[in-house]
Structures are given as structure tokens and as C-alpha cells.
A and B are shown apart, each in its own frame.
Chain A
Amino acid sequence: MTDETVVEARELVVRYGDFTAVNKVSFSVRRGEIFGFLGANGAGKTTTIRVLCGVLPPTEGWVRVAGTGYEDGENAIKAKVGYMSQKFTLYNDLTVGENLDFTASLRKLDPGYYAKRRQELLDIISFGKGLDAFVQDLSGGTKQQVSLAAAMLHDPEIVFLDEPTAGVTPAGRVRFWKLIHRVAESGKTVFVTTHYMDEAEQCGRIALMREGRLVAMDSPAGLKASAFPEQVFEFEPLQELSFSRMGEFQNHEAFSFFEPYGHRFHAAAANPEAWRRWKPELEKTFCIRPIAPSLEDVFIRMVEDRP
């Protein structure tokens, strides 16, 4: 990763009629960085990506992507970026070769360059099947990897991955993230949205979006520190806890944060005095131990806004 900025958005606004999907969003991304973009559904992530991919001109504000902007024409941006969406990857009834040929044709790649680049990318993703394999016969993980190869055929400087591992098995997700790291190490910038917090932990920096606004942006550790200045504890119930009792704790004066985490709970103390007062009582119900907050805690507190 270098200090060179490859993606920059300033005061970005996108409106659909009266609805403001993205509201004065500013950020920058460095070359070779894996940049995570997190937010609830409808937070404005995909709209921002569409702007950065050259698909949707902003209503207001300014973007610069690999040295180009909308003032240079949408195709100038499109030439510098690769895009892989969660909703659609490859045409199932076409072979791998036909899918790659199609993408190469749309980008008018030189046949010699294309053949070399295709082989290079298939080697990177360790694609073991032939080009004549039908996409419908591939596993979800392999399909995503081939889709990434298709998005990178024209050697883009930035790759936008919109929930790339949705619906992929855990093993497939691990393999895909190894690939993302390899891509970043080769000097490409990876801009990724995901709902998996373990994946988000692997990003260099994360931006959190909420209702069209950027609410925080930092490294995973930085976000945890800023979201939870207070100590976080894990509460393991000594006996099964009913829903009504869970509600009691969520509104308890001792906690500023109390959320289920599997069969346990993560909680942050509201203030040291209340915490000291209530701790002996709480220890009758829970086994309590101090922990570092998870990214999921950060997401719940900052994006879903449960103080």
C-alpha cells in the first residue's frame, strides 16, 4: 500500500427524486488498500459504488477515481475500474471461456493481450477446470473467483466488490479473501462491501454508512476504540435467560450497551459508579469477563444506533 490516493469523494450527494440516497459523503482510499464499506441495507453503499464505477453521475459533489472523473467522461472511469456484484456474477448458461470472451469484447481488449491476461488470472485463482466448463456446473466459490477474474481482465487499478462472498461456503469465503489479499499485494486497490464482520476485520480501513451519511471511517482497531471508550464485557448466563429478562438488562441503568452475541451477551458499562453498584447482583446471573469489542459490536452501536 502506498500513500497515493486513488479514490476520492468530496461532498458526494446522490438524489433519486426527493430521496437522498447519499448525503455529503467524503473519503479517500489509498493505492493497494483493502477498503471496507459497511452499512445496513439502503444505507447508500451500492449507490456510492455506482458513482465510483462511472455508472451514475453524482447529483452534487465530486469524485476522482484513478486520476479520472466524470468531467473526463464516464468511460474514462469505467476503463480504470473493475466491478463485481453480489446479485449477478456470470451467465450460468455460458461457459467460463464464453463469459470471459464476452467481457473482453465489451472492453475491446487486444486478442493477444487478452489471451495472456486470461491465463494469468486463471492461474492466480488456480482454476482447475477447462474454459469450456459451464458456469452452472461450478461451485459458488469458484464462480465468484472466475467473476473476479472477469472483472480484472482489463487490469483495472481499482476493483469494486459488492458483497462478493454472499451465499458462498465458509471455506470458499476464506479462499476468496486470500485472493483479495493477493490482488491488493499486486498494487490494486480493493473496495469491498460485506455483511460478514470477520471479513470486514481483514480490511485496512472501514467506512460505516448510515442513511446515506458516512458515520465513521478508520481501521478496525481504531473504530473499536472510538466506538467503545468504555470497557466491554462478555456476559455468559449461568442459567437460561428468558426474553423478558433480556429486555430488562437492555434497559438496565448499569449498561450503555447490551446486545446478544450467540448465547452470550456483550455489554458496556454506563458509568463506573453504577457498574460497581450492580456488578455483585449481576454476577448471580452471569459469568462476567472483560473483552475487546468486536466489529459487530461497533456496527450495532454506530450503524444500527443502539446506544
Chain B
Amino acid sequence: MTFAWPRAAAVARKEWFHIRRDPFTMTLALVMPLVMVVIYGVAIDFNVKNVRLSVSDSDQTQASRRLIDTFSSSGYFRVRRDFSPNQTVEDVVAERARAALIIPPQFEKDIWSGRTTRAQILLDGADNSTVVPVSQYVGAIQTLASERIAGADMTPPYDLRTRFLFNPELNSRWFIIPGVIVVIMAILSIFLTSMTVAREWENGSMELLLSTPVEPLEIIVGKAAPYAFLGALAVVFVYIIARAAFGVPFRGHIWVFGLGCLIFLLTYLAQGLFISIATKQQTLAMQFSMLTGMMPSVILSGFVFPIASMPKFFWYFTMLLPARWFMIISRHCFLEGSSFFELSVPFAALSLSCLGMTALAARRFKRTLE
């Protein structure tokens, strides 16, 4: 078998004509990255702010006011005051507030007399996405409020200060957008490749192609090339938006990131090809692409949900997913400036996935032709 670049280029040129004239493909390739960056970059923020806090202050003293002020000045809470304890609970039940603060009578007096006093925070546990960060804020605010109420006397004997490396302000966008690149590349490569090759099987043109001297590998390379180009274009596009519009830093080496993109792209192109050969139908190929490409890259790659907190089975299962490894490479390149050596484990895992998937697709393609 001899690989002829002119024939692969002819297939690529033909594929490009299809892409240019297919509104669905063009929309998916050009609009989808923009929509995803906007949705994930603007709409999603892990830092919960402006939580409506319904307050019942039955003490009405300086200490209780300082506690309430600490909540309102934190920036995380919007305080609604002067309710009875029952009203604050009703606010939470009726979803007029996400949390309630109930300060009992004798609050200040108990503090100064050295007795333990209990103010109560009620959180809407049905909203799990809000309750976890809010409970963390409450812990920090409690410490701050204690200092303010008690003055210098409450200063602890040590000062434990927290600093967040790589993302000092815990800016969600810095965390999300490098991950969006992974998701966009996964969708574009696996989805479009599987669809386009399945189309050739479905309409019978694959047989016609194979009656010419074109080699199967030339077909694969030629068909994958335009989508690889679109994928690369999407990466550049998202990179520019990430840097210019969202101020996401890029601290790593561009070639390390580029190499990661290339291996990831090849892996998912091979996976798309495998799906198309196995299904030979566009509708089935689309469903399998969603199931094996898009869903794992969003749910199991660590994009939004932390892998560390997944059950053991899924924790091990994610190791098989190329998206998990490229997610690490992408975030480390953007935020941590990691070198190739520091990323050797994800690179090795990604390369293994790439080799395995390419071998699987090639074997299946050969068997199908036989």
C-alpha cells in the first residue's frame, strides 16, 4: 500500500465542498464554539453571589447588628431584615430567600457573660448547587463576625491565611474556559467525523470510492483533515476569546498545548471513524457520538464535576477517557504554566488512548472492507 498525498488532498477538497455547502455543519463548526464560550464563560459562575438572606433579629443589639452587617458587607448575601423567626422560615420555604438567619434574644448578653449563644442559619437544602458554597461562606463569615463583635480579644494565637495559587480570585471563568476547549474539540471531531464517514457508507459512495485506486487510509486522512482544521480553528477562536474577553491567563508553552490538542483531536477523529464504521448510519452515528464523545467529555472529564469526588468505579473509568487527560493538559497549560515534563502522565495516557483508538478504527475498517 502506498499513501498518495494528492489523493488524500482530493478527498479533503471534496469534503470541504460538502462542509461549505452544508448549513448544519457550518453552523455547528462556527456558531457552536461561540455559543458554548458565551454560555459557559458568562452564565456559569461557581462563586454564588447575592444569596437572598432573610434575617430575624430578636436581640437588636450592637452585637447582633455587627453579625448582620458582616453578612451584608461580604458581597455574597443580600439581606432582608426585621422579620419574626417564623417569617424567615416561611421566606425560605416560599423561595423568597435562599437562607435565613435567626438571632435569638439575649444574644449579646450571652456573649459577654461567657455563655454559649446560638444564632441559627437555615439553608435551602433542596438546592444543592447553592447550599455547599453558601455553607462555606457562612463558616468564613462566622470567624470574621466573631472578630468584629469581640474586638481584639478574640484574635487567635495563630494566623492561618489562605492563598489560592494560579487563580487567586477563584474566578470560575479561568477554570471553565480551558475546559470548554476540550468539550468543543470533542464534539467537533467525533461528531462530524462519524457523521461524514457514515454518510459515505449510507449512500453507497464508499464502495464507489474503493473501486478507484484510492487507499482506505487516504480516504480517512482526506475526510478527517477538514474537520481537524475546523477543530483547530475553534481552538484558536476560543483561545482568543479566553484571553481577550475573559482575561484568562495562558502561562504554559503554546507548543505543549498545541501537541495536546493534536493528540486529542487524532484520538477523537479515530473514535468518530470507529463509530461510523460500526454503525454505517448517520442517525446511529450521531447518537453514539453523543453517548461516547460528548457526554463523557462534559460529565466525566472533570470539566464541571470533580473526578476526585466520584465513586471509585467512575474514578477508574475516567482514566480510559481521553477527555479527562486533555482536560488536565488544557487547564495546566492555561493556569499553571506546566511544562511537558510535568504533564508527562496525562500526555502518556492521552497518547495511549490515541494509539489504541486508531488501531481499533483501522482494524475495524480493514475487517469491514474484507
User: Which residues on A are within 8 Å of B, measured CB to CB?
Assistant: 50, 53-55, 75, 78-79, 81, 83-85, 87-88, 91, 93-94, 98, 101-103, 105-108
Contact = CB atoms under 8 A, between A and B. Distances in A.
A131 B214 CA distance: 24
Interface string B196-224: 00000001110111111110000000000
A101 B211 CA distance: 16
Nearest to B10: A105
Given A53-B211, A108-B7, A85 B21 contact: no
B76 to A, nearest CB: 54
14 contacts: A50-B207, A53-B211, A85-B208, A87-B207, A88-B204, A88-B205, A88-B207, A91-B18, A101-B10, A105-B6, A105-B13, A106-B214, A108-B4, A108-B7
A88 B203 CA distance: 6
A294 B204 CA distance: 33
Contacts of B207: 50, 55, 85, 87-88
A93 B208 contact: no
Interface residues of B, number: 23
Chain B interface SS verdict (over half)? helix
A106 B213 contact: yes
A98 B212 contact: no
Tell which of B9, B13, B14, B213 has the most Cβ of chain A within 10 Å: B213
B5 to A, nearest CB: 11
B210 A55 contact: yes
A78 B18 CA distance: 26
Contacts of A81: 211
Nearest to A92: B203
A85 B204 contact: yes
B320 to A, nearest CB: 30
B10 A106 contact: yes
Contacts of B213: 75, 78-79, 106-108
Interface in B4-28: 4, 6-7, 9-11, 13-14, 17-18, 21-22
A94 B22 contact: no
Given A91-B18, A106-B214, A83 B208 contact: yes
A93 B211 contact: no
Contacts of B205: 88, 91
A55 B211 contact: yes
A267 B95 CA distance: 86
Contacts of A91: 14, 17-18, 205
A94 B17 contact: yes
A78 B208 CA distance: 11
Nearest to A108: B6
Contacts of A103: 212
A18 B286 CA distance: 32
A141 B369 CA distance: 30
A105 B218 CA distance: 12
Interface string B36-71: 000000000000000000000000000000000000
B17 A78 contact: no
B225 to A, nearest CB: 14
Contacts of A94: 14, 17-18
